[in-house]
Amino acid sequence: MANETLVATERTKKPKWLRVKLPVGKKYTELRGLVDKYKLNTICTSGSCPNMGECWGEGTATFMILGNICTRSCGFCGVKTGRPETVEWDEPEKVARSIKLMNIKHAVITSVDRDDLKDGGSIIWAETVQAIRRANPNTTLETLIPDFQGNEKLLDRIIEVAPEVVSHNMETVRRLTREVRIQAKYDRSLGVLKYLKDNGMRTKSGIMLGLGETEDEVIETMKDLRNVGLDVITIGQYLQPSKKHLPVKEFITPEQFKKYETLGLEMGFMYVESGALVRSSYKAHKHAS
């Protein structure tokens, strides 16, 4: 991909296609005011998502449950690693109220990994979906779940509450998985997505580029995901959260992202979101329809 990337060095500035427009618009301003007033917890704000203005303008927001301390230490992720806090059993109702206050049309729910819990957090996951349904019957849902260590009984809890979309991110190609997702396994994640699809879920996954993968490896990952019946794939540019995290090895050009989009649609994916600023929740509302 020598002609399709910009090699990143410490002196390399982000290319112009990674410049983010400041969020604007009446809907964004209203939601921002509610988030600040009621101290609502969204990944959109805590993660400084570049698409926040666009997503909020379309009535979509992402919420994180089960705390903000993860039991895993992935090389790409800015979430703190350590010993998580005690589970808040009233959290499902809090999230449901937040969604109602913000009048969210489509909500994405995600979480840290909770390998410290026997149920992996799956009970809170299911109760959160149920609470949102009760308080917001017209809101569609995507659950961006951890792998639950491949435990099918835990995955069944997600399947039973039937969110419109179930997402689990592969994050990277097979060769880089051990470096990028230290405690995760490439084939286990594929198995999770296959199990979800075999049980009637609309499935989704995302990968990041710029970590040193080759074009052939990206295409191989796309084929692997399509072979387990994946419906929706997101492909975006990895950006280093801090100097302690894995460095960006290259900036992928808009032309290369477009190439992956075309290839993905030819492979039969229902939706392909491919671009430098694409994140897991990008245009998530349309993936539920």
**Single-letter code of the amino acid located at 123:** I
- Would the annotation count 77 as a binding residue? yes
- Would the annotation count 205 as a binding residue? no
- Would the annotation count 98 as a binding residue? no
**Single-letter code of the amino acid located at 42:** T
- Residue 241, class by beta-carbon neighbours within 10 Å (0-12 exposed, 13-18 middle, 19+ buried)? middle
Contact 208, 237 (CB under 8 A): yes
- Would the annotation count 74 as a binding residue? yes
- Would the annotation count 44 as a binding residue? yes
Strands 5-7 and 250-252: antiparallel
- Rounded CA-CA distance 256/269 in Å is 18
235: closest CA among 215, 212, 260?
Answer: 260
206: closest CA among 105, 287, 92?
Answer: 287
Binding positions are 44, 49, 55, 70, 74, 77, 281
Binding positions for [4Fe-4S] cluster are 44, 49, 55, 70, 74, 77, 281
